[in-house]
Amino acid sequence: MRTLLTIQKIHIYGFGKHENITISLQDGVTIFYGMNEAGKTTIQQFILQMLFGFPTKQQSQRKYEPKTSPKFGGQLTIQHPIYGQCTIERVKGKATGDVTVYTADGTKGHEELLAKLLYGYSRASFEAIFSFSIHELQGIEKMSEDELTHLLLASGTTGIHQLSALEKKVDKDAGELFKKSGKLPLINQKIEHLKQLEKTIKKEQATIQTFEAKSLKLQHLEHQLKDLYGQQKTLQHQWQQLTIMKQALPLIEQQDKLQQSLNSNAPVQFPPEGIRRYEQLKDRLTHETLQLTQLEDQYQALQSKLQLTADEQTIEEITRLMHKEATWNQLVVKEQNLKDELFVLQQDIEAQFRLLGVQEKEAQAILLEGTVSLQQEEQFQRQLTVLNTTEEELKFYLQSLEQIHAELDNIARQKKQLQQEALTAEEEHILAQWPQKKRRLEQLRHVQLQRSKPKQPILFIYLVLAISIVAVVYGVVEKNWAVIVIGAILGLLFLLFLNHAKQVEEEPLERNSHLLKELEQEEHVVQQLLVNKQRLEDRWIVANEQQRDKERQYAQLEHKIQQAEQTSAEANQMLENFLRRFHLEGNVPRTLLPELFMRIRAVQEMDVKQRSTFKLLHAIQNEKNELYEAVQQVLKNEYSEQEIFMHLRTSYLAIQQAQQQMLQTTEQVAHLLSKKQETQSLLQNYESQIKQLFTSANVNSEHAFYETFELFQQQQKLQGQLQTIQNQLTSLEIQQQEHLLNGEQLHEKIQAVEEERNALQVTIDQCLEERATLQIEKEQLLNDEKYGLLLQQFEQEKALLQQLIEQWASKKMLATAIHETLFRLREEKLPHVLTQVNAIFNSLTAGRYDKLFIHEEGYFEAQAVSGLRYHVAELSQATKEQAYISLRMALAKTLATSAPFPFIMDDPFVHFDRNRTNKMVQLMKEVGYERQILYFTCHEGMLELWQKEQIVDLGALANERGVTST
């Protein structure tokens, strides 16, 4: 059974720049390659966020929501050691996304099942061991020795990073609560605050003693204000009575005047709303009178219209002619069409005559009356065919003659060119001298051939040389000087012989070689001249033969041209005789001759058609003239042919409208009679109502009616004013005895009361102000909870101080416990990891360092092969990174069963040289057998270290929807 958790397939719906892509992965090592902005980090974050959820707003990681796709999320297909093949799908939903897990047996789960698949690891725990990048390794260079040691401890021990962070946080929180000599910590601030509260409480106790004196003073003020308010009420009543009396004096005087005016005039009777009713009746009477006058005028006008009568016979005739309008239009169109057709026929006939060249009227008449039978046409066509054939042959012969003439000119030019290309006199001289030089060349070649043959047997010469060498070697080996001397003598003789032979042959050989070379060069020149001469002679012979052949063809063509010209002249004479019978004397274009008879027949047919069209046009014009005269008689006026039916239609419509108006007028007359009767009855009714209004007002005329209405209005106005004054006096409750005071007395009395009221109000205000001040002070003493609040606040601050002290004590205890736990983890778990890390560290550093261990003081040290020890801070950047990676790898190895996750690396080897990079690649290959590794890089050099099937090229994602690594 598999013990590894591997990612088999990545399917991205939409994440960052990637959309709808699928990447299949293999076990072991997979390399994700791409240039900057190719999406490497996006895929790395996609894997982490599919496993552990999308970042929330409180987290600093980027969420990678796509810009162009509505879909957000995707799937990871993994192979789990326990659950088999599972698919993890996470899409947009709640803060971390909605996750669904599908197992191989069909089980469907969510966050709980995913937590089981991930062995309870969080993202922080996973990244602390199985995921690291170049950014983390680059930060190592800036760390102090304490920070670096802490980082390596966290890398080699699970959970120590979280505990160390918690320890620092707890110490920091405890320091924020209390410091022995501090002022800013909370406990220090609380102690100082309690001291200030105690001083404030003592001041408040002294203020409470003044309450009794203020209470007695308030009682005395209350009795004094009660007496003052009684006096004020009495004065207020007196002032109100005097003021009412002052207001009522003018009303009483006006009441007396109005009563006297009413008593002086007799009462007047007038109907209710009499003026409005009278004016309405008068307006209606005037309106109906005018309407009756208009009706009489309209009635007289309609009666005069009815007296007009229309001519029925004229109407019937116009109606009959209107029905002929379509016939008229057809006749006009036919007439115009026939005229157009006659014009076209005349134009066509004249065009045909112009084509035939017949311009005289007599010749045209003869041509129209002539007979054009098929036999004559056939005879004419035969003569025309003979003429055309002869002319085409003549044309062909002339063209051929021109072509042969041009070819003869070309041959003459070629012969002239050959004469110019002939050999010069110098070249002819070279050819004449060549036979003698050729014999000398053959002799030299023969001599050279003889000398190239060996004069002594080669085998004998080299045999002597071999014997001399063997004798020398044998003498040296056997230390026999006689043999050595013999061998040396033989070798010396051999060299002398070769030198003599060379001197004998060198001098004549050099001289002959120079001459041979010159003759061979001259031989090459002569051969070239001979070839050129032969080629020129061959071309001269061919040119002479071509010239004779063309001259013979030229003579034959001249004979054929004479025969063709004679035949053509005979055919032309026969055609002219034939055309002369139709008065067509040589002026007919040659292109028309093949269709001459067809054109003559067409002219004759068009002439017949023209005559028949003239007859039809004459008949149509007679019919149209008869209809035109009939219309003019009805209209009794003269109009043009184009407008006559328009005027007829206008007259017809006018008569129809007149008849329609006559019917309408009859109905209007009946309606006017009825309306006149109604208007007369309304007039009588309105006159009766006006008489009734005059009777109610006891008058006989309109002027008296209006005067009575004015008197009635005046009486009504006086009565209204009197009633208003009486109502006002009733509301003021004025008694008769109060009328004894006059205006001046009232004014003096009111002024005295007001002065007394003002003095009393000043005294009341002073008492109220003093009472308000005492009440405020008393209320403050009674309701002031400051003292109690201060006591309560003092107790609360004491309780809060106690809580802070307890928190500080608990944090100090927690920090001590964490420190002890870290020490125990370092002493118990880290040694087991260090036993695994030494082999990895030794391999990565190419055997330069033996092991990595912790010093007694708690710092990491590296031991070189020479035995020297170095603090980790003293190592190079690349070696620090190798130590960090070794601890990560060793820790993961110890967690092979409890956490078989894949490694995710983001280009962490940029500081490694080529040797250490190769070592790292070898380590990755070894780890790849035990755990899946996903490696992201932008360095093309890394691709050379891996097989092609292990590489996923992210550049292909821009053009493909799926990328597969097999």
607 CB neighbour count, 10 Å cutoff: 16
| One domain, residues 335 and 301 | no
Most confident of 249-263, 653-667, 837-851: 837-851
H-run or E-run covering 90: strand 84-91
Q: Which of 677, 699, 721 is the last residue of a domain?
A: 699
The CA-based diameter of the chain, rounded to the nearest angstrom, is 206
What is residue 109's predicted lDDT score, i.e. its pLDDT?
Answer: 93
- Encode pLDDT of 579-621 as tens digits: 666 656 555 555 555 566 667 767 777 777 878 888 888 888 8
d(CA 24, CA 391): 87
* Interval 366-378: pLDDT, tens: 666 666 656 666 6
- Does one domain contain both 12 and 91? yes
Question: What is the SS3 string spanning 840-872?
Answer: HHHHHCCCCEEEEEECCCCCEEEEECCCCEEEH
State the total domains in the chain: 4
Residue-by-residue DSSP string for 395-441: HHHHHHHHHHHHHHHHHHHHHHHHHHTSPPHHHHHHHHHHHHHHHHH
Least confident of 137-141, 232-236, 723-727: 137-141
In this structure, is residue 279 part of a structural domain?
Answer: yes
Of 236, 233, 255, 232, whose CA–CA distance to 244 is shortest? 236
Q: Is 724 inside a domain boundary?
A: no
Report the predicted TM-score, pTM, of the whole model to 2 decimal places. Answer: 0.38
Residues 499 and 553 in one domain: yes
Give the Å distances, CA to CA, from 859 to 32, 163, 165, 166, 871. Answer: 37, 18, 18, 20, 7
pLDDT of residue 136: 59
Interval 548-559 mean pLDDT:
82
The model's confidence at residue 431, banded by pLDDT at 50, 70 and 90, is confident
Please state which of the ranges 223-227, 493-497, 880-884, 928-932 shows the lowest mean pLDDT.
493-497
| 431 and 342 co-located in one domain | no
User: pLDDT grade, residue 250 (50/70/90)?
Assistant: confident
Per the domain annotation, does 565 fall within a domain?
no
Alpha-carbon separation of residue 333 from 321, 339, 591 (angstroms): 18, 10, 40
Confidence (pLDDT) at 156? 42
Domain assignment of residue 616, yes or no:
yes
pLDDT in tens, 493-512: 767 766 655 554 554 556 66
Residue 461 has pLDDT above 70, yes or no: no
Q: Is the pLDDT of residue 150 over 60?
A: no
Element (H, E) at 102: strand 98-102
Same domain membership, residue 680 and residue 630: no
Does the residue 361 lie in any domain?
yes
Looking at the fold, whether 459 and 350 belong to one and the same domain comes out as no
Residues 669, 633: one domain?
no
- 938 belongs to a structural domain: yes
Query: Do 531 and 619 belong to one domain?
Result: no
Within this chain, do residues 118 and 21 fall inside the same structural domain, yes or no?
yes
pLDDT tens-digit profile of 772-793? Answer: 887 777 777 666 666 667 777 7
Q: Which residues of 462-475 are buried (b: 16+ CB within 10 A; e: fewer)?
A: eeeeeebeebbeeb
Give the bridge partners for 80, in sequence order: 84
Supply the pLDDT for residue 151: 45
Domain coverage including residue 511: 426-558
Q: Given pLDDT bands bounded at 50, 70 and 90, which one contains residue 91?
A: very high
Please, which residues have CB within 8 angstroms of residue 547's CB and are 6 or more apart in sequence?
408, 411, 412, 415
What's the rounded Cα separation, in Å, for the pair 317 and 296?
Answer: 38
DSSP helix/strand/coil, 911: coil
Picking from 157-166, 526-535, 721-730, which range would have the lowest pLDDT averaged per residue?
Answer: 157-166
Give residue 6's pLDDT. Answer: 92
User: Are residues 622 and 553 part of one domain?
Assistant: no
pLDDT value, residue 296: 76
Same domain, 512 and 471: yes
Output the domain CATH number for residue 922.
Answer: 3.40.50.300
Asked if residue 179 belongs to a domain, the reply is no
User: Which pLDDT belongs to residue 60?
Assistant: 79
Q: What is the mean pLDDT of residues 23-36?
A: 90
| pLDDT tens-digit series, residues 820-854 | 555 555 555 565 667 677 778 888 787 888 888 77
29 and 54: one domain? yes
Q: Please say if the pLDDT value at position 343 is more than 50.
A: yes
Name 7's bridge partners: 78
| 905 pLDDT higher than 80 | yes
3-state secondary structure 525-587: HHHHHHHHHHHHHHHHHHHHHHHHHHHHHHHHHHHHHHHHHHHHHHHHHHHHHHHHCCCCCCC
Residue 407 lies in a domain: no
